[in-house]
Amino acid sequence: MSWPKTLLEYDVDFSASPVEQNELTLTDVNTNQPMPFQLTDIQTENGRLKSATLCFFSDLPSGGKRNFLLHKISSEIKKENKRAVTVKSDKKRILIDNGLIRLEIPGTGIYKKILPPIIQVGDNSSWLGSSELPDKIGFISMKVEEISVGDLFAEYLISYEFEKNKQFQVKIKVVADNDFIVFEENMSGFSESDSLAWQIKWNNFNPEYRYCNDRPNPEHIIDINKTGYDNFRWEPVSGYPENPAATHHPDFTVDQKNLSNGLLPFNLTPYFSSNWWRHNTSAFWDNKTGKTVGLL
């Protein structure tokens, strides 16, 4: 069993031997080669590091070992690390791009007009969607802050304040070599009656098919003696046709078909459920363009 390439994080205490950030290098002991790394949660005193979180990539093959050494070098030695995530910003917008996925978010600062956490999102060739956050429950202000931007990833925190002490926060992280965006959402003070929803609109993405945990089912295998992508009757984005072979639930066709307004017959939840209408992940794709969107 092997472990895939993963972004690792280690807390480091420099208080016994404070150093400047540009004096540090990370070496792969097995190959004696320098490793790209990034420091976050940095605490300093008189310009020297007291503590930080060390971030770097590594895998672990079956039966293998990995050894890394964080050590001090002369600040005059130039480290040739090329950033894998680019960030371009002005006063209004920040463009984050890792070569596989890109997005625009509001520029850093405080706003009195509500803006969505993500203005646009797309892959390396086109913008696929945008988002909206309605201003309808007493919006007061929002703040965009940079958490960390370095060789490996870019991370931002967007905080919203509403009347009656209601708060909504979104942490957005784009990591090198990942074809997905990491979100962390937190909210407090809201009730179900507020009916506030952050809406992502895929206005330049028209998928042919959809997939969830329990789809496709065994009855959608074309040939039980074969495997592979082409051996399934994948579920169209509008739902399976109404025929006995496609009926997952014997009593409810809505379990398969979209509603008349296009609403999907299932919801995404933060946990796995064994029923047919709640799932913790889903995927949508278009064979003609090769575009795919996954939500989890």
Span 178-236, pLDDT tens digits? 999 999 999 999 988 887 788 888 989 999 998 887 666 677 788 889 988 888 888 88
> Are the C-beta atoms of 140 and 124 separated by less than 8 Å?
no
Decide which of 176, 201, 226 is a domain's last residue: 201
Span 251-284, pLDDT tens digits? 555 566 777 777 777 777 777 766 666 778 889 9
One domain for residues 100 and 192: yes
Distance in angstroms (rounded) separating the CA atoms of residues 274 and 296: 16
> Are the C-beta atoms of 127 and 120 separated by less than 8 Å?
yes
pLDDT the model gives residue 213:
74
* The token pair that represents 71 in the structure block: 């050590």
The residue among 248 and 194 whose pLDDT is bigger is 194
> Strand runs (DSSP E) across 107-226, as ranges?
109-111, 120-123, 127-132, 139-149, 153-162, 166-175, 182-188, 199-201, 209-212
pLDDT the model gives residue 224:
87
Distant-in-sequence, close-in-space partners of 241: CB < 8 Å, separation ≥ 6? none
Q: Helix (H, G, I), strand (E, B), or coil: what is residue 17? A: coil
Q: Which of 32-46, 88-102, 128-142, 231-245 has the lowest mean pLDDT?
A: 231-245
CB atoms within 10 A of CB 49: 21
Tell me the whole-structure pTM to 2 decimals. 0.85
One domain for residues 112 and 195: yes
For residue 65, the enclosing domain spans 3-72
pLDDT the model gives residue 249:
53
> Does residue 247 carry a pLDDT above 50?
no
Span 41-96, pLDDT tens digits? 999 999 999 999 999 999 999 999 999 999 998 766 656 667 789 999 887 999 99
One domain for residues 65 and 96: no
One domain for residues 90 and 42: no
pLDDT the model gives residue 35:
93
pLDDT the model gives residue 237:
85
One domain for residues 63 and 95: no
Distance in angstroms (rounded) separating the CA atoms of residues 138 and 126: 35
One domain for residues 195 and 231: no
